[in-house]
Structure 1
Amino acid sequence: MTRRIATAIDIDAPAAMVWRVLVDFPSYPEWNPFIRRIAGEAKVGARLEVAVQPVNRKPMTFRPTVRVAEPDHELRWLGRVLLPGIFDGEHAFIIEPRSGGCHLRHEETFSGLLVPAFGAMLGDTARSFAELNAALKRRVEATT
């Protein structure tokens, strides 16, 4: 079973500025209402420690592996619960330049046997993505 959350927002700033805020992990507690903390590096193959606080849910910490870290364009990681195929989540921030700024796609594809059991949690996660997007827009645009 697969389920995808896809959100997007336009940001009135260059892609490089959005990238800088996205990979400035130590600053996340200052502005990010969903991903409260990330430890590690935005480097392909690196293992991160990510603490999230979804809307209406208890905090969770997981250790995904960075799959893509293309400056000014894409940050993507894959997290798993227990073994591959149980509950996997591939999280992505994709920055697309546009006239006057950029378009950010913030997505996650969940797959595995336990996806149906997490339906309500995934709805709260979608709301959390939208809140993160708005906070990121405010943070980036305030620095331009």
Structure 2
Amino acid sequence: MAVVINHQIDIDTTTETVWQVITDTKKYGEWNPFVVACHSTLAVGSPINMKVRVMPFFAQPQKETILEHLPGEALSYGIKMPLGMLSSHRRHWVTETEPGKACYVSTFKLEGWLSPLVKLFVGGQLQRGFNEMSAAIGQRALQLK
């Protein structure tokens, strides 16, 4: 039983502006309610170190690996734990819907034999966090417009 969370929002600004929000990880603490701190070179194979607020009262450290970086278009990262316990794949994707307008797509998939427990204990919190982050990306991009 995988945990799957998807979002898509249209933003009245350029794809470049949305991409700037996603990749300026040093500023996540200024606007991001879910990933409250983040550091990475964003180079494929390199780490992405985050502090993720799954529970409202605590931001836990999370270290993942950059899996894909197509500048201006897509950024993916994830984890793969031993023995098939858990693996995750998170993707940010930006496309132009018409000149000066962007579509932001967020996908997250967590699978493995521990995923039912994760879903049971924090599935709702993960859904809330990804909802909030997607909305905040849109709001931040509009502020920078």
TM-score exceeds 0.5: yes
CA contact (8 A) 1:55 1:127 kept: no
Match of 1:91 in 2: 90
Deviations 1:106-133 (A, max 9, x none): 1111111100101141222111111111
CA contact (8 A) 1:43 1:69 kept: yes
Match of 1:62 in 2: 62
1:23 paired to 2:26? no
Query: Would the alpha carbon gap of residues 15 and 29 (structure 1) be closer, same or farther in structure 2, given more than 3 Å must change?
Result: same
Superposition deviation, residue 134 in structure 1:
1.3
Deviations 1:16-51 (A, max 9, x none): 111111111110000000001111211111111111
CA contact (8 A) 1:79 1:90 kept: yes
Q: Secondary structure at the match of 1:72?
A: coil
Q: Secondary structure at the match of 1:54?
A: strand
Query: Would the alpha carbon gap of residues 55 and 104 (structure 1) be closer, same or farther in structure 2, given more than 3 Å must change?
Result: farther
Query: Would the alpha carbon gap of residues 6 and 70 (structure 1) be closer, same or farther in structure 2, given more than 3 Å must change?
Result: same
Match of 1:106 in 2: 106
CA distance in structure 2 between the partners assigned to 1:43 and 1:15 by the alignment: 20
Tell me the TM-score normalized by structure 2.
0.90
Match of 1:49 in 2: 49
- Stretches of structure 1 lacking an aligned partner (at least 5 in a row): none
Match of 2:134 in 1: 133
Q: Secondary structure at the match of 2:82?
A: coil
Match of 1:75 in 2: 75
Q: Secondary structure at the match of 1:126?
A: helix
Amino acid in the other structure paired with 1:118: V
CA distance in structure 2 between the partners assigned to 1:134 and 1:62 by the alignment: 21
CA contact (8 A) 1:9 1:104 kept: yes
Superposition deviation, residue 55 in structure 1:
4.9
Query: Would the alpha carbon gap of residues 88 and 58 (structure 1) be closer, same or farther in structure 2, given more than 3 Å must change?
Result: farther
The number of residue pairs the alignment matches comes to 143
Amino acid in the other structure paired with 1:83: P
Superposition deviation, residue 14 in structure 1:
1.1
- Stretches of structure 2 lacking an aligned partner (at least 5 in a row): none
Query: Could you say which structure has the higher strand fraction?
Result: 2
Percent of aligned positions that are identical: 24
Q: RMSD across aligned C-alpha pairs, in angstroms? A: 1.6
